[in-house]
Amino acid sequence: MTDTPLLHVDMDAFYASVALRERPDLVDQPVVVGGSGRGVVLAANYVARRYGIHSALPMARARRLCPQVVVLAPDFDTLTSVSASVMATFREVTPLVESISLDEAFLDVRGAVRRLGPPARIAEQLRSTVHDEHGITCSVGVAASVSVAKLGSRRAKPDGVLVVPPAEVASFLHPLDVGELYGVGEKTRALLHRIGLVTAGDVARTPLEDLQRAVGRHLGHELHHLAWGTDRGELHVGAGPRAVEKSMGAQETFARDSDDRDVIVRELLRLSARVAARMRAAGVAGRTVALTVRFADFTTITRSRTLAEATDVTVEIHGAATGLYDRLALRRTPLRLVGVRVEGLVPRATVHHQLALGEPDRGWAEADRAVDRATRRFGAAAVRPASLV
């Protein structure tokens, strides 16, 4: 039995790396992926990061920091496809995969050690396979607990592996600012700093009862284990082969505020298709469709509708989103942003669709899957709704 059975694999600058597979001429230039105009940066390659550009930065600010930055539009269909392929690569190593997002996952490899060697060797093999088969790089942290493996992959970036044996956990964690601990946000960091707990070592050396009196019983218990690297060592894999996300969504900021219903409904179709494709790639379906609209003054409204049964079908998601938009009765009020989200996701295999009387046994769901097959083979632009051409 190995003492470091958990791997955290994190793709390096995933959105940018996938985009640059098609533009190798830009590899050595500062590149960001995101919306043009008033959008935000979704990802920046490592060249762009040297200029202080990072995700969630307004695009206008990114251009001021680096006037020569190249902006590429995100191709969510390709991103979803690549993510699904990478996750499939992980599951060839072990069925115990906890997917955190499109570009990162935890793996429990204790069952693969006899077949593939120690975890450090498995990490190197995975890194090599991801590069060779998918054309992108990843970094891997190897440890006995989830939080230490996560921090290990962060320290290994880019394109590296870091093993943190149990005997070295304290020396690895204790010099870190408490804000670097996995799951500690800005508010908790500020609270801990105010009471004089600046580093993970400060937290670790504080008696548990004193820590719980200062920050609360539950948070104190969690922080104590994070500071010692003794948080959970088992993965939340879920009922199926992977943990299911609770919701999936997409949104877009218009280049100019729009009150044109045709423009808005077309954008809702594009977003619905993107979300539905991600859901099908992840093997999930959802019953609740949510619409978000943001006005020119940044006022934001969200409305939702629960369907009779869970779906991953583009036309059904789009129909629900359009109905929600029409019921808002905005009366030509310009919108800055629209978004579509499907919530309450469940594994697709658990959804059993019952045909209504007279309903054909093949229809939009089969059409969507035919589109999925075409895009996997010929690229994301191969097939799209006619109104989006």
- Residue 351: per-residue pLDDT: 61
- Residue 110: per-residue pLDDT: 94
Tell me how far CA of residue 5 lies from CA of 90, 110, 139, in angstroms: 14, 5, 16
> Is 104 in the active site?
yes
CATH 3.30.1490.100 domain locations along the chain: 247-388
CATH 1.10.150.20 domain locations along the chain: 174-228
CATH number for domain 247-388, candidates 3.30.1490.100, 1.10.3720.10, 3.30.70.1060, 3.30.2320.80: 3.30.1490.100
- Residue 297: per-residue pLDDT: 79
Known binder of ligand: residue 103?
Answer: yes
Q: The tokens 């045909």 sit on which residue?
A: 355
Domain 174-228: CATH architecture, name and number where available = Orthogonal Bundle (1.10)
- Residue 239: per-residue pLDDT: 40
3-state secondary structure (DSSP) of residue 204: helix
Q: List per-residue pLDDT tens for the chain, 389 residues long.
A: 589 999 999 999 999 999 998 888 999 999 999 876 667 898 999 999 999 999 889 999 999 999 999 999 888 777 887 888 888 889 889 999 998 888 999 999 999 999 999 999 999 999 999 998 888 999 999 999 999 999 999 999 999 999 999 999 999 999 999 999 998 988 999 999 999 999 999 999 999 999 999 999 999 999 999 999 999 988 877 544 444 456 788 888 888 899 999 999 999 999 999 899 888 888 888 889 999 998 887 788 889 898 888 899 999 999 999 999 999 877 668 898 899 999 888 887 766 544 334 444 445 566 666 665 655 444 444 445 545 44
Would you give the distance in Å from CA 307 to the centre of its chain? 25
Instruction: Point out the catalytic residue in the list 92, 98, 104, 316.
Output: 104
- Residue 302: per-residue pLDDT: 86
CATH number for domain 1-167, candidates 3.30.70.270, 3.30.870.10, 3.40.605.10, 3.40.1350.10: 3.30.70.270
- Residue 389: per-residue pLDDT: 46
- Residue 362: per-residue pLDDT: 45
- Residue 283: per-residue pLDDT: 81
CATH 3.30.70.270 domain locations along the chain: 1-167
Known binder of ligand: residue 10?
Answer: yes
From the list 42, 41, 85, 79, the residue with the least C-alpha distance to 63 is 41
Within 13 A of 298's CA, how many CA atoms are on the CB side?
A: 1
Burial 89-105 (b: 16+ CB within 10 A, else e): bbeebbebbbbbebbbb
